[in-house]
Structure 1
Amino acid sequence: MPRGIMFVETMPASPDKEAEYHEWYNETHLAQIVSVEGIVSARRFAPTDGNGPFIAIYELDCDDLDAAVGRLGELGASGEMIGLENLAMDPKPIPRLYREIGSYGT
């Protein structure tokens, strides 16, 4: 079964709303993403120097990685994904999809 990750860089809609952005992302958005068939886990990371975007890495475990990302797009377009006003949209977050080509260890 193909495995992959989706990598997304995001920033809060405004610096003064950063705490709300993190709360929404961690408490609501990650669960919304993982509710999509084929997306099995989600992790977020902050830059160690405090500068630049935050990143999220979503692990996919399904036969068709592109279809899983398509389902995620459908969820976003449906209006059922709440809280997107917490994200900066300039530049707009762009998910990058990667398929696994090798591994070592656990």
Structure 2
Amino acid sequence: MPKGILVVQTRPVSAEREDEYNKWYSEEHVPDILKIPGFVGARRYRVRDTADVTADPGTLEYITIYEIEADDLATPLQDLRASSNAGRVRRSSSLQTDPPPIRTFYELID
């Protein structure tokens, strides 16, 4: 079965709403997406600067990596759009939308 990942880069609308953003993302948003057939897992990460690696200015602080498995990898992505448009994937005003989140899809090559 083909596999892929959807990488979504986001950030909260403000530092004051970061706790609200993380609670919504982890307790509502990710579970809503994992209800969509083909989405089989998700992990969230936050940028961390180190002595050897620092993030570029403007980097969105959070990423979520969604694991996808489906006979046709386009189907879960289409279902995600339909679920979002129908309100089955809950949104929050704590998510920054200007600029919008960055979404990138990758297909496993081997």
TM-score over 0.5 for the pair: yes
In the TM superposition, what are the counterparts of 1:28-47 in structure 2 within 5 Å?
A: 28-47=28-47
Alpha-carbon distance in 2 for matches of 1:36, 1:90: 26
Aligned equivalent of 1:2: 2
Letter in 1 for 2:84: G
**Runs of 4+ in structure 1 over 4 Å off:** none
Q: Give the secondary structure class of the aligned counterpart of 1:95.
A: strand
Aligned residue pairs total: 102
Alpha-carbon distance in 2 for matches of 1:36, 1:80: 10
Q: Give the secondary structure class of the aligned counterpart of 1:25.
A: helix
Aligned equivalent of 2:16: 16
Question: CA RMSD, aligned part only?
Answer: 1.5
Say yes or no: does 1:99 pair with 2:99: no
Q: CA deviation at 1:26?
A: 0.9
Question: Could you tell me whether the CA contact under 8 Å between 2:7 and 2:105 is conserved in 1?
Answer: yes
Q: TM-score, normalized by length of structure 2?
A: 0.85
Q: TM-score, normalized by length of structure 1?
A: 0.88
Alpha-carbon distance in 1 for matches of 2:93, 2:82: 18
Letter in 2 for 1:82: R
Q: CA deviation at 1:95?
A: 1.9
Q: Which runs of 5+ in 2 are unaligned?
A: none
Aligned equivalent of 1:61: 69
| Higher relative helix content | 1
**Which structure is higher in RCO with an 8 Å CA cutoff and minimum separation 6?**
2
Alpha-carbon distance in 2 for matches of 1:85, 1:73: 19
- The percentage of aligned residue pairs carrying the same residue is 37
